[in-house]
Structure 1
Amino acid sequence: MNFAGAYSLHNGQAEWEKRELSDWLTDLFEAPGIAIGSRCTSRIREHLKDELTASGWTHNVRIEQNCDLTVTGRYRDLAFQIQTGNVSRAFYDLMKMQYLYLEHKIQAAALAVPTKAAAARINSNIASAERVWSEVQMFDRIITFPLLVVAFE
């Protein structure tokens, strides 16, 4: 698995850089021992869980105490979400992060998704960075938080 690129909405890149976590975030995806393909998602998630935990992030954080909805990780005023499933889940993830932003629980977030080519190797109808980025730009008045879409392959 390798970092393939990032897309910034509402100064998302600047927010991660301001916290000196931009390089750390992209380095999460420099894991050559993880091959992208069928049934790789549990290995990717385990790798990210280990890396987040080692860096002081809270893993699988509920967005509200009385609710079962979670984000992959939270650290101070940041949220991180990985999506290796159906494309519809990526937009659901964006809604959860928008909620956290509107509730003043975060100031910025990152959504990690595979590139189109990597998504095709994982399964069919998997969220891809290209599709998410294309559609996020269309909804930039609805998705108002600083966002970094991280692409990996």
Structure 2
Amino acid sequence: MSMKLAYTYEDHHSAGAEWDRRDLKEWLTDVFEAPAVKIAPRCTPDVRKHVETEFLKEGWALNVNLDQAHGLSVFAMQDDLAFQLQTGNMSRAPYDLLKLQYLFQSQKIEAAGIALPTREAAKIIGDNIANAERVIKELELFDRVITVPILVVAFE
């Protein structure tokens, strides 16, 4: 199955409007329309390489450290935006949200994005892989805790 955009969740603290205002929402969703990338067991390296290439072409910095002392990084940053790609274990997704919230609280970003496979695509990729449906439910639950506007991009 070729990688394609499944849907976006734009409601978390008006994240869709934040990406629209910067004329980047369409670009971001287009990154995940990638017929050459196949969603298959253990396809994570291919997905990551494709997304890294597209972000680099647009001038984003990759693997940006949150601070020097802790060795924590986000997938990509540009201007006042940060982005996470999560194709790993479900236990990693809450850390992504926490890192994005930290950057927001530190006034390093104004909005963020996170891309994850849909539940169905996650099952194809491997066991207990993070999925967009679960992350959206958690964002809704923790919407007073995770206050950074986060645009969720679900791909399959």
Taking structure 1 as the reference length, what is the TM-score of the superposition?
0.98
In the alignment, does 2:7 pair up with 1:18?
no
2:80 aligns with 77
1:97 aligns with 100
2:153 aligns with 150
2:117 aligns with 114
Q: 1:61 aligns with which of 61, 64, 69?
A: 64
Task: Report the Cα distance in structure 1 between the residues aligned to 2:138 and 2:32, rounded to whole angstroms.
Answer: 23
Shift of 1:135: 1.4
1:86 aligns with 89
Structure 2 SS opposite 1:64: coil
Task: Report the Cα distance in structure 1 between the residues aligned to 2:51 and 2:67, rounded to whole angstroms.
Answer: 22
Shift of 1:39: 1.6
Q: Which amino acid aligns with 1:13?
A: G
Task: Report the Cα distance in structure 1 between the residues aligned to 2:131 and 2:70, rounded to whole angstroms.
Answer: 27
1:5 aligns with 7
Task: Report the Cα distance in structure 1 between the residues aligned to 2:113 and 2:31, rounded to whole angstroms.
Answer: 12
1:40 aligns with 43
Moved over 6 A (4+): none
Task: Report the Cα distance in structure 2 between the residues aligned to 1:87 and 1:6, rounded to whole angstroms.
Answer: 19
1:49 aligns with 52
Shift of 1:88: 1.3
Over residues 84-114 of structure 1, what are the superposed CA-to-partner deviations in whole Å (9 max), with x where a residue is unaligned?
Answer: 0111101100000000000000000001000
Shift of 1:115: 0.3
Q: Which amino acid aligns with 1:43?
A: D
Shift of 1:65: 2.6
Task: Report the Cα distance in structure 2 between the residues aligned to 1:21 and 1:146, rounded to whole angstroms.
Answer: 14
Count of aligned positions: 153
Shift of 1:151: 0.1
Task: Report the Cα distance in structure 2 between the residues aligned to 1:20 and 1:53, rounded to whole angstroms.
Answer: 17
Shift of 1:64: 1.0
RMSD: 0.7
Q: Give unmatched runs, 5+ long, in structure 2.
A: none
Structure 2 SS opposite 1:141: coil
Question: Identity of paired residues, percent?
Answer: 52
Task: Report the Cα distance in structure 1 between the residues aligned to 2:56 and 2:102, rounded to whole angstroms.
Answer: 23
